Structures are given as C-alpha cells and as structure tokens.
Amino acid sequence: MKSLHPCIWLADKLHETTAFYGSLLSDAEVIPMNSFMERVKFGASAIEFMVAGTQCRPNASISMYLVCKTKEQTVAAWKQLCSSSKVLMPLQEYDWGPLYGWVEDRFGVSWQITHGDAGGNPQTVTPSLMFTGAQFGRAKEAIELYTSIFPNSEIQYADIYQNDDLLQAGKVSHAQASLNGNRIIVMDSGMDHGDLKFTEGTSLLVTCDSQLEIDHYWGSLTAEGGAPGQCGWLKDRFGVSWQVIPHQLGNWMSNFERAQRIGPLLQTMSKLDLAALRDA
C-alpha cells in the first residue's frame, strides 16, 4: 500500500480551495493532478480534493486533526480557518491540552486544531472519525477492524470515558492507530448532532501496488455489512466511505488522451481491475 489519506468532495472552486489550504502551513504544498482533482501535502500527510456533481458534502463526522508545532502557528491557522466559518469549540485550554479548537471552515471541512507533540509521528493532518447517532459506541469496533485489515498496524492510544454522562461510559473518548504508518483517529459522541452521519463527502483513499492488495482491502472493508460502490468506491460496515485504487491512477488520469479511455472503463467497474486500467 502506497498511502492512506482523506479525500474531500467539492461542489466547485477547486483551485481556490486548494490554494486556501496550501497557505495554511508554511510547509504545505499544492500538487495539481488533473482538471478535477488536486492534492495538498502537509508534511508527511496529504488531503485529496475532488470536484464532483454529487450533493454529498464534507461534514463533522470526519474532521481533519491538525497538530501544529508552535502556539503561534496554531493561532495563525485557526484565524485563517475561522474566516466565514462555524466554530464548534473555541480555541482555548481544555483538560486534554493547553490549546485546542474545532471549526467548520467556509468550504464545509471540519478541523480540529491543537498545539502539541505529535508523538514522534511526522504526519501533520490526521483523519478523525466521529461515531455518533446510529453508529455511537462503535469506535472501538472500528479501530480494531482497521488495525486487523492493514499490515504493520497497531492501536497507539485509547482513552475511554469513565463517567456515564450522555451514556458514554466505556465508550471511546479518543483513540488513535497507525495503519501501516498512516495515523487515524476515532471517537464516540453521545451528544445530539442531528442527522450527522458518514457520507461520501469525505472518503478514505487507499492507493495499492497490486491487484492482490486491491482484492484484500476491497474484500475486507466490504465484509459483514459493508457495501460495494462504483469506480473503486465502497462503504464499510459503519458507513464510512473508502476508495480502493491503484496508485498509478492519478498519473493515468492526468494524461488527457488516456483519461478519455480510462474514464468510461471506470464507470463499468465496482472493484477496480488493475490490468484492464493499465492496458487502456
């Protein structure tokens, strides 16, 4: 597996959006891929942005957890993200840290920002999955499933609610795992978040080296209540959307003539056929 990182669907304004995030941190970098997809790298991590005609948009069920190296960097990033935004938790000191805030920015992307030690992990932005509503209480099940699917994986930290406020006792307050070197965070929330649920607006993108890997991740993530989608998309048993694709697909689609051949072929596929796409 080459990488695992979040992918966010946008209605439009791809270049405006990626330019905004590319200026968020001094080491952030915008990487153009094709006319409808660009990537923003944050140190050792990345977020893919894709323009799509769907009505599904990102929401707070999956947020981007940003760890900043200094207090000044934290405050600067917070101020930029707070422009025309919705503050979910103000930037201030909390029991778990000296500086933390949660905001939904003007593009609808949810961010948790903190200043502190990343635990020696060079990854800067980490997808954080919130299990609420019908999925409340399943964060532990999810992180155990994901670490069983991805090689070289482990649960690095898990904090469990001790009190029974909102019936959260025994549920996951915050847990993080390394999935073959890619960090992911999960949490349960018994608060009333309306009809908030996982959607295709934010997916987890797995890039694979071989058909064997594609088959493994596809089969494991769709098992026991998951559902296959189209063009390499699927939903796992918790409703989280994933894309399982060959790592070369972005380069192939950046070539206009080749993209014209691959595009219609993708529409015919559920799980992707690496050989067919490579030969197109």
**Is residue 4 classed exposed, middle or buried when 0-12, 13-18 and 19+ CB atoms within 10 A define those classes?**
buried
Give the predicted TM-score (pTM) of the model: 0.94
Q: How far apart are CA 141 and CA 162, in angstroms?
A: 18
The pLDDT of residue 277 = 96
How many domains does the chain divide into?
1
Question: Average pLDDT of 224-247?
Answer: 97
Q: How far apart are CA 247 and CA 251, in angstroms?
A: 8
pLDDT at 262 over 90: yes
The pLDDT of residue 119 = 58
Instruction: Give the chain's mean pLDDT.
Output: 92
In a domain, 82, yes or no: no
In a domain, 247, yes or no: yes
In a domain, 211, yes or no: yes
pLDDT at 150 over 80: yes
pLDDT at 116 over 80: no
In a domain, 21, yes or no: no
In a domain, 248, yes or no: yes
Predicted confidence band of residue 118 (pLDDT cuts 50, 70, 90): low
In a domain, 235, yes or no: yes
In a domain, 242, yes or no: yes
Domain holding 234: CATH number?
A: 3.10.180.10
Q: How far apart are CA 144 and CA 111, in angstroms?
A: 24
Predicted confidence band of residue 121 (pLDDT cuts 50, 70, 90): low
pLDDT of 27-65, one tens digit each?
Answer: 899 998 888 899 999 988 999 999 876 678 899 999 999
Q: Structural domain of residue 206, as residue ranges? A: 202-279
Which tokens is 73 given?
């960097």
Place of tokens 């422009």: 83
pLDDT of 59-95, one tens digit each?
Answer: 999 999 999 888 999 999 999 999 878 999 999 999 8
Q: How far apart are CA 31 and CA 151, in angstroms?
A: 28
11-15, 116-120, 195-199, 251-255 — which one is most confidently predicted on average? 195-199
